[in-house]
């Protein structure tokens, strides 16, 4: 079974631009979560989607948004990029929400560099 | 709100010796506890989880973890360390489904196994 895939793997943007990252979950997984990883802040939860609905949201400004499609694929968007948005963005998928199968499997991440 | 503490930023161990990576947590109710490993330039790989049942959980690559409710700990252990175990290890906790319950990670512990 294919794992979680994320595209693109690497991205360079300039301040003020916007960016869209994509995540394809493991086949059959309906829950997708996004995390930001930085050396200073570690792993921080961004949001979680299940059945095309945002279920949880972390403490990030409104510039960070996301969505999930009917095939469970998810995208996250960051508008008006700031230098501090440079990070590794990780996507994780899980089979269901709140059940004993609540193991999140992570993709390789998208490394975003904002100049 | 739930939280995780990994008190050691770095753990050094000689190859062949037992290793322990410490984790303590704070959460309301019975926790879901996880360990992940991250190799350089890679996403997180799932190692093991505790949901309920036996306090000693066995996972991938010979790792195990012991859930201790009275000490609110979930330390990761391996009887004999390998150089290939050198990586960044994350402990994570999630409260039982109740409102906004994202996966919360510790800051990570860098394990270095010396030949």
Q: Is the pLDDT of residue A6 over 90?
A: yes
Residues of chain B with pLDDT below 70 are 97-100
pLDDT in tens, B69-93: 999 999 999 999 999 999 999 999 9
Task: Provide the pLDDT for residue B9.
Answer: 95
What backbone phi and psi angles, to 5 degrees, belong to A41? -100, -10
CA angle (A42 as vertex; A53, B97 as ends), nearest 5? 40
| Spatial separation of the C-alpha atoms in residues B2 and B105, rounded to whole Å | 10
Residue found by looking up tokens 């503490």 in the block: B5
Q: Is the pLDDT of residue A100 over 50?
A: no
Is residue A75 a contact partner of residue A32, using CB atoms and an 8 Å limit? no
Q: Is the pLDDT of residue A99 over 70?
A: no
Interface test with B, best of A94, A97, A106 (most B CBs within 10 A): A106
pLDDT in tens, A60-85: 999 999 999 999 999 999 999 999 99
- Name the residue in chain A with its Cα closest to that of B109: A42
**Gyration radius from chain A CA atoms:** 13
Is residue A66 a contact partner of residue A34, using CB atoms and an 8 Å limit? yes
Greater pLDDT, B27 or A13: A13
Size of interface A-B (CB pairs under 8 A): 48
- Name the residue in chain A with its Cα closest to that of B97: A98
């Amino acid at each position: 079974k294919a794992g979680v895939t994320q595209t693109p793997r690497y991205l360079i943007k300039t301040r003020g631009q916007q960016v869209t990252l994509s995540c394809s979950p493991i086949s059959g997984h309906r829950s997708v979560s996004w995390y930001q990883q930085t050396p200073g802040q570690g792993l921080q939860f961004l949001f979680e989607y299940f059945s095309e609905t945002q279920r949880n949201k972390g403490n990030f400004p409104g510039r960070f948004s996301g969505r999930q499609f009917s095939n469970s694929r998810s995208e996250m968007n960051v508008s008006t990029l700031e230098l501090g948005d440079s990070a590794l963005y990780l996507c994780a998928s899980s089979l269901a929400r709140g059940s004993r199968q609540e193991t999140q499997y992570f993709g390789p991440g998208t490394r975003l560099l904002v100049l | 709100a739930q939280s995780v503490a990994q008190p050691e930023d770095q753990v050094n161990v000689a190859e062949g010796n037992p290793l322990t990576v410490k984790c303590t947590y704070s959460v309301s109710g019975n926790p879901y506890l996880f360990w992940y490993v991250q190799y350089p330039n890679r996403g997180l790989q799932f190692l093991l989880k505790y949901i309920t049942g036996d306090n000693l959980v066995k996972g991938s690559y010979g790792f195990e973890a012991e859930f201790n409710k009275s000490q609110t700990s979930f330390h990761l252990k391996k009887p004999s360390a390998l150089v290939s175990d050198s990586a960044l290890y994350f402990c994570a906790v999630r409260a039982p489904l109740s409102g906004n319950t994202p996966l919360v990670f510790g800051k990570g512990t860098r394990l270095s196994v010396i030949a």
